[in-house]
Structure 1
Amino acid sequence: MELSIRHETHYEYSAPLQYALQHLCLTPQANAHQEVRSWQLSAPGPLFAQRDGWGNLAHSWSMARVRGGRHVYRGSITAHGIVQTSPAALLVDEPGAPPPALYRRATALTAADAALAGLARAHLGGRRVDEAALLALAAAVAGRIAWRAGATHVGTTAAEAFALGAGVCQDHAHAFIAACRAAGVPARYVSGYFHSPQAQELGSHAWADVCVDPDARRWLSIDVTHACTMDERHVRLAVGPDYAACAPVRGVREGGGDETLRVRVLISPPEP
């Protein structure tokens, strides 16, 4: 499936911004699942590309107001392009990627409590880690954490969302990853886009990769929210141990007062 994507992030501040530094994971890479036909990324300052520790193609930019310079009250980051996807849900890491064992370690956002550890034992304990078992675990997580926008925030942990019984795709992914790691199975967070003709402006999404063959570094990509494997509706942006490691936009600033953030993501087949 050929998908046209436009991701806009707009910032406005109540006071002059003195300094800003941001790290962007907004550039998809080619793999067995997708081909990047075109992609452009723009920010308020010059962009510097680098490969981060998780293998993502990332960019950074910074801004510092000089004495006598103009006051900055707003800024925008825009990523857009065309990506060709396929239903391939199995991926093999490129050389140089972190070893799968690194993704067995819990993080602050993916630590399993007794409830998540019990879920892991019920679905993965003593069983072969295959697609059927992982989809059953995904269905159990989605069944426990009902989709409710605004119920959680970016700092909500897997255990908190699981206890609350509500959340969004980030919480589904974190809880699923926490359960996998509790069973000793490497799992990582995936940020990206999901195409739904019924919701073209709600395209940002998160799911998980599970290492089903550590020796071959082969990963099966599971969409917990939709209880399916990754298919042609998904576009991958970045991976990491959790959301905090591969958020599309993160950074620090000085000044600016109160911040107002507006994000718009549009995904659709390209116009003829």
Structure 2
Amino acid sequence: MKYKIRHKTVYRYAEPPRRSVHELRLAPRSGPLQTVRQWQVSAPGNLSEARDGFGNIVHSFTVAGPAHTLVIEASGVVEVTPPAAGGAPLFCDAPPAGEARVSPLYYLGGTPLTAAPPEMVRFAAPYLAAGHEVPALLALADGIARRVRYAPDSTDVGTSAGEAFALGSGVCQDQAQVMVACCRALGVPARYVSGYFYDPAAAALAGHAWADICVDADKELWCSVDVTHRCLSDARHVRLAVGRDYRMAAPVRGVRHGGSGEQMAVEIAIAPQR
């Protein structure tokens, strides 16, 4: 599948900040599961581009003066190429020659957002008791989807996996972080994925999140699992960034000095292309 995507973020302030610094992970990369045919990012000021240790494309910019409105736009065309139907649903995500990235084993380390309390470990252990092959991972994802029910607006970006697990509800971000936390707690490297999910029946599209699970660290083989939809990633998933948790893969992050009354609006449009 090939998609034309547009992602627009608008910040409005009652009192404008004196200065703000922003970091964007809004540019998808070509890799084993997708090919970026074209992409552009626009924002106020001069954009600088770099790669982080996870392999993500990162754009940064600074707004030096007061501004009541700040608009960030990203758009382009991405062709999704998931593992062949009927074949092994694994993909190799080793870095290209000349690029340094963290080892898959780095994703064993916990973060405040993905720490697993004892009750979460007890919940997950039976699913992975015999190993972490794909059927076991899908069974764990199904168990998490039933344990942490999808409920819009029940959590926020600061909610940890442990908090969502205790609450019993959350959104795709929370379900993905619970999956990541469960796998890591049982010795399996896992990372958080931010991106898009194409649903032609959706009244409004939003960003999505799922989890990559490393099934062989030496060969850098991964399996991509969408807890919300209880499936492996497929032709509906477009990847933006990966990280140890939401904060490290967030599409937009920033720090501002001064200002008040911040409001954010996000518009995402995805359309198939022939």
Q: Which bin holds the TM-score, normalised by the shorter protein?
A: over 0.9
Q: Which residue of 2 aligns with 1:68?
A: none
> Whole-Å Cα distance in 2 between the matches of residues 48 and 90 of structure 1?
33
Q: Indicate the residue corresponding to 1:2 in structure 2.
A: 2
How far 1:128 sits from its partner (Å)? 2.2
Deviation track 1:136-190 (CA, whole Å, cap 9, x = no partner) reads 0000000011111110000111111011111000000011111101110000000
- State the alpha-carbon separation in 1 of the partners of residues 8 and 271 from structure 2: 15
What per-residue deviation string (whole Å, max 9, x for no partner) do you get for residues 59-91 of structure 1? 0000112xxxxx421010000111111222533
**Runs of 5+ consecutive residues of structure 2 not aligned to the other structure:** 84-88
Q: Distance in 1 between matches of 2:222 and 2:45?
A: 36
| Residue 20 (structure 1) aligns with | 20
SS in 2 for 1:25: strand
| Counterpart in the other structure of 1:172 | 175
Give the structure-1-normalised TM-score: 0.95
Q: Does 1:41 align with 2:38?
A: no
Alignment of 1:46-57 (within 5 A): 46-57=46-57
The alignment partner of 1:156 has SS state of coil
Cα deviation for residue 268 of structure 1 reads: 1.4
Q: Secondary structure at the match of 1:17?
A: coil
Report if aligned partners of 2:32, 2:93 keep a CA contact under 8 Å in 1: no
Give the alignment partner of residue 76 of structure 2, picking from 78, 81, 88: 81
Asked if residue 105 in structure 1 is aligned to residue 109 in structure 2, the reply is yes
Among 211, 219, 232, which residue is 2:222 paired with?
219
Equivalent residue, structure 2, for 1:198: 201
Q: Percent identity?
A: 49
Write the letter of the residue equivalent to 1:23: E
How far apart are the structure 1 equivalents of 2:187 and 2:203? 37
Q: 1:16 deviation in Å? A: 2.7
Amino acid in structure 2 at the alignment position of 1:262: A
Q: Deviations over 1:33-59 (max 9, x none)?
A: 111111110001110000112111110
Q: Unpaired segments of 5 or more residues in structure 1?
A: 66-70
Contact 1:6/1:267 (8 A) holds in 2? yes
3-state SS of 2:49 partner:
strand
| Deviant stretches of 4+, over 3 Å | none
Q: Secondary structure at the match of 2:201?
A: coil
> Could you tell me which of 254, 257, 262 is aligned with 2:265?
262
Q: Secondary structure at the match of 2:18?
A: strand
Q: For 1:160, what is the secondary structure of its paired residue?
A: helix
Show the 5 A alignment for 1:179-194: 179-194=182-197
**Counterpart code for 2:193:** V
1:58 aligns with 2:58: yes
Shift of 1:200: 6.0
